[in-house]
Amino acid sequence: MDKKYFGTDGIRGTVGEGVINPAFILKLGWAVGRVLAKGDSGKVLIGKDTRISGYMFESALEAGLAAAGIDSFLLGPMPTPAIAYLTRTFHADAGIVISASHNPYQDNGLKFFSSQGTKLSDEIELAIEAEMEKDMQCVDSAKLGKAERMGDAAGRYIEFCKSTVPSTLNLKGMTIVVDCAHGATYHIGPSVFSELGAEVIAIGVEPDGLNINEKVGSTHPAELQRTVLKHSADLGIALDGDGDRLIMVDHKGEIVDGDELLYIIARSRLSEGCLQGAVVGTLMSNLGLEVALQRDGIDFKRAKVGDRYVMEVLTNGNWSLGGESSGHIICLDRTSTGDGIVAALQVLYAVNHSELSLHKLKSGMRKFPQRMENVRVSGKVDIEGSDSIQQAVRAAEDELGSRGRVLLRPSGTEPLVRVMVEGEDAAQVTRLTQDLAQVVKKAFSG
């Protein structure tokens, strides 16, 4: 069955438009209580990022859960992965994060975690949607849920993050710039690294409800690059608005993206004999990552785009390490979901343990030139059924040989086909991308 409300990562949209409004969120809280907490007594943790609409939706969720007889524990601004961790350790029935991740403040949404701290299955999401179709009913007054604020949530999560690396890790002598995107990690990220001994220069730590992800964070690393160079820092760490995404910057001001971070962590795990099986990337992971890992004897698998699909492949294979180019890094031997701070600590451990700079560690992987064009289409798109497109793809793949690849992917949210080509020769990659884009445009532009 197709889902009506849930996307690949919860529910998200512009505040006041569609379902992102207080009335919908109120009923959603009730439906979640009915499904995840079995509609009886239970407890759900609620966290949020720093955008101004979080106050409104926090109140609506609390009321909906209370109507279903469920107690709420309000954590205030907390990173998404912190909610996953605390939901599991507090034995809560579910965790809910009010966040639109790396989107601007005008957007908001909700992410959900099961009692095990994992993303919800399709079956659970469909059950919640089915409950939304029913009339909302309130339990008897004596059974109404209560709300309580959890004051020590940040401290608990900081200690957890530090526990994901050996106690011998000492960052004394390192200068690290930490960019918290004016988001949910603003009061947590700098503390984690400073408590491990680093001199921390914090930016993006002054949220005002409207500036989350604005020219800062993992999607806007230019300010981090400037600050690293200005202070001659050893490296920089950029998180996104809800703290589940990581991009880093080396001492030369060069960006180290999710593919390179995944490579560094995998090599570190391999050197210590604790890499569990294959490393999982996505269809968009750079071919250079695959080539570098295979050179070291590390198996590499690709999942569909989206951290939930990376998680699915990891879980099915009983493996521990995966991620996306965008910086969602999943270390299942450390925690149950993607976590920007935890991933950064794994990279810092690799730097510390190897006694090599971040710049030197990433140099073992050479990124292949990659080009992507978005082709706007009209009508139904059937890439597999188009003879002209398939013939053009085969011709491009033959020209690239084993040192390149072609990917055509319809967008899940817009009338677009994404045409991506990778190879060793940048000029060849550009030419093939443009040629394929023209074939797709001719086939589907109407």
Could you tell me which CATH number the domain at 156-362 has? Answer: 3.40.120.10
Token pair belonging to 17? 């438009």
- Please name every residue paired with 7 in a beta bridge, in sequence order, or none if there are none: 10
35-77: per-residue pLDDT in tens?
Answer: 987 656 799 999 999 999 999 999 999 999 999 999 999 999 9
C-alpha 325, offset from chain centre: 10
In the sheet that holds 255-256, the strands lie side by side as 199-203, 175-179, 235-239, 246-250, 255-256
Whole-number Cα distances in Å, 197 to 20, 169, 180, 192: 42, 9, 19, 9
Cβ atoms of 50 and 182 within 8 Å: the answer is yes
91-150: per-residue pLDDT in tens?
Answer: 999 999 999 999 999 999 999 999 999 988 889 999 999 999 999 999 999 999 999 999
Checking phi first, is residue 56 left (phi over 0); if not, alpha (psi -120 to 50) or beta? alpha
**Cα torsion angle, 155, 52, 125, 217, sign:** negative
164-223: per-residue pLDDT in tens?
Answer: 999 999 999 999 999 999 999 999 999 999 999 999 999 999 999 999 999 999 999 999
Q: Choose the CATH number for 11-151 among 3.40.710.10, 3.40.50.10380, 2.40.50.140, 3.40.120.10.
A: 3.40.120.10
Q: Which residue has the tokens 């004596």?
A: 142
Catalytic residue among 53, 99, 101, 285: 101
- DSSP-assigned states of every residue in 58-114: HHHHHHHHHHTT-EEEEEEE--HHHHHHHHHHTT-SEEEEE--TTS-TTEEEEEEE-
E strand segments, 332-403: 370-376
- Of the candidates 301, 308, 70, 65, the one whose C-alpha atom is nearest the C-alpha of residue 57 is 65
Cβ atoms of 141 and 66 within 8 Å: the answer is no
pLDDT at position 116: 93
Superfamily of domain 370-444: Alpha-D-phosphohexomutase, C-terminal domain (3.30.310.50)
**Domain ranges, ordered by start, for the chain:** 11-151, 156-362, 370-444
d(CA 239, CA 242) in angstroms, rounded, equals 8
- Of the candidates 273, 386, 381, the one whose C-alpha atom is nearest the C-alpha of residue 333 is 273
- Please name every residue paired with 45 in a beta bridge, in sequence order, or none if there are none: 73, 95
- Please name every residue paired with 97 in a beta bridge, in sequence order, or none if there are none: 47, 111
- Please name every residue paired with 250 in a beta bridge, in sequence order, or none if there are none: 235
| Residues found in the chain | 446
Tell me, yes or no, if the two domains 11-151 and 156-362 fold the same way. Answer: yes
Q: 446 falls in which pLDDT band (50, 70, 90)? A: low
Tell me, yes or no, if 141 is annotated catalytic. Answer: no
- DSSP-assigned states of every residue in 386-439: -HHHHHHHHHHHHHHGGGEEEEEEE-SSSSEEEEEEEES-HHHHHHHHHHHHHH
Q: Does residue 412 have a pLDDT over 70?
A: no
* Cβ neighbours for 247, distance < 8 A, ≥ 6 positions apart: 218, 221, 238, 255, 256, 257, 258, 261, 327
Token pair belonging to 358? 């971040």
pLDDT at position 200: 98
d(CA 72, CA 304) in angstroms, rounded, equals 34
- On whether the pTM is more than 0.85, the answer is yes
Cβ atoms of 228 and 175 within 8 Å: the answer is no
274-328: per-residue pLDDT in tens?
Answer: 999 999 999 999 999 999 999 999 999 999 988 889 999 999 999 999 999 999 9
